[in-house]
A and B are shown apart, each in its own frame.
Chain A
Amino acid sequence: MKKFLLMFLLVGMIGLLVACGNGDEEATDSGDTNDTDQTESTDEGSGEAVNITAWAWDPNFNIRALNYAKDLYDGEIDLDLEVIENAQDDIVQRLNTGLSSGTTQGMPNIVLIEDYRAQSFLQAYPDAFYPITDYVVFEDFAPYKIEATSYAGDVYGLPFDTGVTGLYVRVDLLEEAGYTFDDIVDITWSEYTEIGKAVKEATGKDMLTLDPNDNGLMRIMIQSAGSWYFEEDGQTPYLAENEALAASFEALKALFDANIVRLNSDWSQFVGAFNNGDVATVPTGNWITPSVMAEESQSGDWRVAPIPRLEVEGATHASNLGGSSFYVLNQDGKEAAATFLSNTFGGNLEFYDTLITEMGAIGTYLPGLESEAYDMEVEFFGNQQIYNEFVQWTEEIPAVEYGIHTYAVDDIMIVEFQNYLNGQDLSTVLERAQTQAETQLQ
C-alpha cells in the first residue's frame, strides 16, 4: 500500500521535473524565435538571415523539390528556410484551425495547397494570404494553373506540379488480345471499352481499377472536355445541362457494364492492382509513375498513351488530376517568402532541370519544359520519352474554374453515379444532383 503511494508520488515528481526542464527549454526557444520575428522586418536589408518555414507533403516529391529550391536559391534577401513535412489532410486541418482562429501563431510562411482546394481557402480567408502577382511573370505558366491560383484579380499561388494525366498501358497484355500500342493512342472512351472487352476475353484481366468512392476519373473526363462542376463563376453548379458530365456518366457506366473494372477500396489496393498485374491500363495523373515503376519485374511492359477522349464538342486528350501550388501567408516574412518562390519555382531553369533529372517531377513553368532533360528515354516504358509526352499534354490541358466546392459536389456525384449504375435515368440523376448541389451550396 505504501509502495503504491510512494510510486504515485514519485511518478508525479519526475513528471513535474521533466515538465519544468522542458518548459524552460521551450521558453528560451520561443523567446529566440520571437526576437527574430520582431527584428525581421528591420533586418532584411542588413544581412541577417530571415527565418521562414514551409509546409508541404510527400517527402519524395514536394519536400524534395523544396529542398532543391533551397539549395539553388540566390535571391536578394538572405533567408533560412525550414521545410516541414505534413500530410496533406493535416495541413488542411491546421490551416483551417489556425486561420479561423485569426491568429498567425504557429502558421508557416509558405504552404502547399492542392489546386482543387485553393479557392476555398482564398475565399474563406481573403486577408490571410499575400498576393504574389508582382513577383512572377505568370504568362510563363500553364494557363490552367493560373486559373486555379487566382482570386479577385490577383494571383496568390505559385504554380508547382502538374497533375497532367496519361493512360498507363501494359502492351504485353494488349498484344495477347491482338492489339498494338498504336491502337490505344488517341482513341475515344467507347473504343477503349471495346479494347477492354477483348483484353478481358483474351487474358482474363480487367482493363482498369477504380475506387467507387473516389471520383477522380470523372473529373479527368470532364476537364478533358473543358468542363467542370460549376459555371464560369466557380459558384453556380453546372450539372443538369452539362453535356461533358453526361457523357462521362455514360462512358463510366459502359466500363462497368462491360465488366472490365476491378474495384478497389483504398490507395494500397489501387497500387496493388497494377503492381500485381491485375489490370491492363491505369488512367491517372503522372505522379503515379514512381508507383508503377516500383514493380521492377514489369519493366518494358508499360507505355504511356494520352487518355481517351469523350465524344462531345471540345473534347481533348489532355486533362489533369490533382496538382498543387505554393501560397504565401500574409504575416511577417511574407516578402522573403515571395522572393524565395519567385527566385526558384518562379523561373529558375536550373531548378526545373534538377526536378526532372533527379526525380522525374514535371513542373508547369513553360520555359522550363523546353529543357532537353525531358527527352530522356525511360527503359521501364520501353525507352519511350514519357516526360516529353507529358509536357506536350500539359500545354493542352483545358483551363477550368475549380471553384470552392469541388469536393462537396464530388460527394454528390459519387452517390448519384451509383444510382445511375443501378438503372435510374441519366437526366433524372443529373437533375437531382443539380438540385442537391444548389441547396447544399447556398
Chain B
Amino acid sequence: MKKLKRPLTYLFLSIATIISIYPFFWMVVSMTNRSVDVTRGRQLPGLHLMENLTNLFNQVDMVTALTNSFIIAILSTFFTLLIASLAGYGFQMYRSRGKDLVFNILLLSMMIPFASIMVPLYRLFGRISQTAPFLGIDTLAAAFLPTITTAFFIFFFRQNTRMFPKDLIEAGRIDGLSEIGIFFRIFVPTMKTTYAAAAIIAFMNSWNNFLWPLVVLQSPSNQTIPLLISNLGSSYAPDYGMIMSAITIATLPTALVFFFMQKHFVAGMMGSVKG
C-alpha cells in the first residue's frame, strides 16, 4: 500500500502540472503557427515564428507599450510599497485612539468595486487636467496614481508587521535613531521578504491592470501592453499567431519577476522574519 502511494502522488501531481502548464504551452506553440492553424487547433510548433513577430512589430508599437507598462508598473510598485508599508507599520506600532475604527473603515473600502468609482475618478482627473495637465487624463501619472496604496497592501503590511520584534525598535530608540530612521534602517531591511512578496503582487497587478488605464489613457503613445493586446483582437479577422506572440512577450516580465523573487515570495506570504 505504501509502495503504491508514491507513484500515485506523482501521477496526480503530473496531471495537475500538465493541466496548469498546458495553456502556456499552447500560447508558445501558437506563437509559431499561422492564424489558420491556430483556429484549427494545431498543437505542434510551426515555422512562422519570425513571420508573426515581424507582423507584430510592423503593425503595432510594442516598444512604446512595453516602456509605458514598465514605467507605470515600477512607479506604482515603488509607491505602493513605500506608502502601504509606512501605513501598515504605523497602524501596528503606534497607539492612537480610534486607530482600529479607521483601519476597519479602510478595510471596508476593499469591498467597493473599482468600476463604481471609475466615473467620479475620471471626473476628478478631468478637473486635474485643467490645472495640472501633466497629472491629468491621458498621462502615465493618471494611470498609476489611483492604484497605489490599496487597503489590501496596508492590511498585508500590518499583518506582517505583527511578526516584527518590538525589541528592535526599542533598541533603535535607545541608540538614538529617529522614528523615520528606525523604519528605514531597521524595519525595511528586516522585512525584505515581506517587501518582496508585496512587490510581486503590486507589479503583477499593475502590469495586468486594464480597466483604469483603458479609460484614462487615450493616445497611442501612452498605450500599455494589455491595451495593445486588447486592440489586436479587435478585428473581424484576427491574426491569432500574432496575438499569441504579443501575449507571450507580455507574460515574460511577470514570469521573470516571479521566478527571481519566488523564494522571497513564499517566505513573505508565510510571514516569517529572517534577519
A423 interface residue (CB < 8 Å to B): no
- Complex interface: chain B residues within 8 A of A101 (CB): 119-120, 122-123, 126
Interface pair A57/B235, CB less than 8 Å apart:
yes
> How far is B238's CA from A294's CA once the two chains are assembled, in angstroms?
11
Interface residues of chain A: helix, strand, loop or mixed (majority) = helix
> How far is B216's CA from A288's CA once the two chains are assembled, in angstroms?
32
- Complex interface: chain B residues within 8 A of A18 (CB): 71, 74-75
> How far is B215's CA from A90's CA once the two chains are assembled, in angstroms?
8
Chain B 29-66, CB-CB to A under 8 Å as 1, else 0, gives 00000011011110000000000000000010000000
Interface pair B39/A272, CB less than 8 Å apart:
yes
Chain A 14-41, CB-CB to B under 8 Å as 1, else 0, gives 0100110011101100110010000000
- Complex interface: chain B residues within 8 A of A276 (CB): 39-40
CB B120 to nearest CB in A, in angstroms, measures 7
- Name the residue of chain A whose CB is nearest to the CB of B220: A84
A11 interface residue (CB < 8 Å to B): yes
Partner of A97, one of B118, B192, B240: B118
Interface pair B82/A12, CB less than 8 Å apart:
yes
- Complex interface: chain B residues within 8 A of A22 (CB): 71, 140-141
Interface residues of chain B: helix, strand, loop or mixed (majority) = helix
Q: Determine, out of B1-9, B170-178, B183-191, B254-262, the stretch whose residues face the partner at the interface.
A: B183-191
Contact-residue bracket for chain B: 35 or more
> How far is B69's CA from A3's CA once the two chains are assembled, in angstroms?
27
CB B177 to nearest CB in A, in angstroms, measures 14
Contacts of A237-258 to chain B: CB distance below 8 A: none
A61 interface residue (CB < 8 Å to B): yes
Total contacts A to B, CB within 8 angstroms? 146
Contact-residue bracket for chain A: 35 or more
Interface pair B134/A23, CB less than 8 Å apart:
yes
Interface pair B231/A85, CB less than 8 Å apart:
yes
Interface pair B236/A98, CB less than 8 Å apart:
no
Contacts of A95-133 to chain B: CB distance below 8 A: 97-98, 100-103, 105-106, 108
- Name the residue of chain A whose CB is nearest to the CB of B191: A4
Interface pair B139/A30, CB less than 8 Å apart:
yes
A72 interface residue (CB < 8 Å to B): no
Q: Which residues of A contact B (CB under 8 A)?
A: 1-2, 4-5, 8, 11-12, 15, 18-19, 22-24, 26-27, 30-31, 34, 57-61, 84-90, 93-94, 97-98, 100-103, 105-106, 108, 267-269, 271-272, 275-276, 287-288, 290-291, 294-295
Q: Which residues of B contact A (CB under 8 A)?
A: 35-36, 38-41, 59, 71, 74-75, 78-79, 82, 118-120, 122-123, 125-127, 129, 133-141, 184-185, 188-190, 192, 195, 211, 214-216, 218-220, 227, 230-231, 233-238, 240, 275
